[in-house]
Structure formats: structure tokens, C-alpha cells
Structure 1
Amino acid sequence: MEASYDLPSGDRIRVIDTTTVGQSLGRILELYRGGATEPVFFGDQPRPEGVVISFEQWAEYEAMKNEAEFERRTEQIARDRIASSRSEDSVSFEDMMHEYGLDPDGNGGQA
């Protein structure tokens, strides 16, 4: 059994019944070994309940997930530091530029 399913993005995917996908795993693996990259969506309802992807795709998604998590943690650390900082601890942009010997007006020269 095969059904079409419309994603919220407007894209349409094919959903194959679980039994058929289970029986076809060897063929799916052959396709991935041959360079195919299309995910295989499956489920016993007329909507996707699972997806089969190549290991390379999974590794790429895992790396992106880890990078996004690192960025989220970094942003949270910055928010926490800003929230706990005192105004007397801060330095104005102009003062910081002068500290580094730079022109805060951006005239290309040193201060």
C-alpha cells in the first residue's frame, strides 16, 4: 500500500506501508549504496510514522544537531552573563576602542 501525504511546507511525499518497507530494506540499502539519497517514509496510517535514511544523511543531521545545540548553549551563556552583569562592570564601545588603540569613529586610523 502506498499513499500520498501533504507536508505543512506544501511538499507531497509518498508513504509506504510498514510491511512493504520491511520486506524492501535490502533493496533500499542497494539504492543507497548506489548513491540514492531519497528518504523512505513509512507507516500503517495514511501519514508518515517513520523514515529510513542513509547513514551518511544521519551523520550529517547529527552533526547539524550538535552544532545547533552548541550554538544554543553559547547563546544561553551569553544571555545569563548579560542578565547577571552590573552596569558598573560594562565598558562603552568608545572606551573599549580607545583601550585597543583604535579610532571609535572608524576613520581608518588609530586613536
Structure 2
Amino acid sequence: MEALYDLPNGDRVRVIDTPTVGQSLGRVLELFRSGNTEPVFFGDQPRPEGVVISFEQWAEYEDLKEEAETDRRMQAITRERLANARPEDYVPYDDMLREWGLDEPEGGGDKR
């Protein structure tokens, strides 16, 4: 059995019943090996409950998940620092540029 399911973003996916996917895993692996790495959505209702993806896709998603978690941690740290910063802790922009060595004009220091 197969059904179409509309995703919230407007895309449509084919959902295959679980017993059929179970019997077809060998064929899915062959497709992955041949370069066709389209995800296979399955479930016992006409909506996806699981998905089979290639190992490469899974590894890529894990990397993206790690990056997103790092970004969330950095955002939380930045928000905390901003919330706890006192005005006397602020450094003027020009001072910061000088501290980082970024105050020289482009072209190597031609100061007129």
C-alpha cells in the first residue's frame, strides 16, 4: 500500500506501508548503492512515521545537528554576556579595532 502525504512546507512524499518497506530493504540498499539516495518514507497510516536514508545522509545530518547545537550554545552565551554586561565593561569600537590590529586602512597603512 502506498499513499501521498503533504508536508507542511508544501512538498509531497510517498508513504509506503511498513510491511512492504520491510520486504524491500534489500532493494532500497541497491538503490542507495547505485546513487539514488532518495529517502524512503513509511508508516502504517497514510502519514510518515519513519524514514530510511543512506548512511552518508545520516552522517551529513549529524554534522549539521552538531553545528546547530554549537550555534545555539554560542547564542546562549552571547545573550547571557549581553544581559550581564555593565556599561563600564563596553569597549569603544575604535579601541577594539586597534586592539585587534584592524585600524589600518586597506592598502597597507597609507595614512593621509
Do they superpose with TM above 0.5?
yes
User: Partner of 1:9 in structure 2?
Assistant: 9
Q: Distance in 1 between matches of 2:73 and 2:47?
A: 34
Q: Aligned partners of 2:61 and 2:6: how far apart in 1?
A: 23
- What is the alpha-carbon root mean square deviation over aligned residues? 2.1
Q: Alignment partner of 1:48: what SS?
A: coil
2:71 matched to 1:68?
no
Deviations 1:28-50 (A, max 9, x none): 01110111110000000010000
- Counterpart in 2 of 1:80? 80
Residues 1:25 and 1:86: Cα distance change in structure 2 (over 3 Å): same
Aligned residues between the structures: 109
Query: Normalization by structure 1: what TM-score?
Result: 0.87
Give the AA of the match of 2:57. Q
Q: Is the 8 A contact 2:5 2:13 kept in 1?
A: yes
Q: Which runs of 4+ in 1 moved over 6 A?
A: none
**Pairwise mapping of residues 52-67 of structure 1 onto structure 2 (< 5 A)?**
52-67=52-67
TM-score normalised by length of structure 2: 0.86
Gaps of at least 5 residues in structure 2 are none
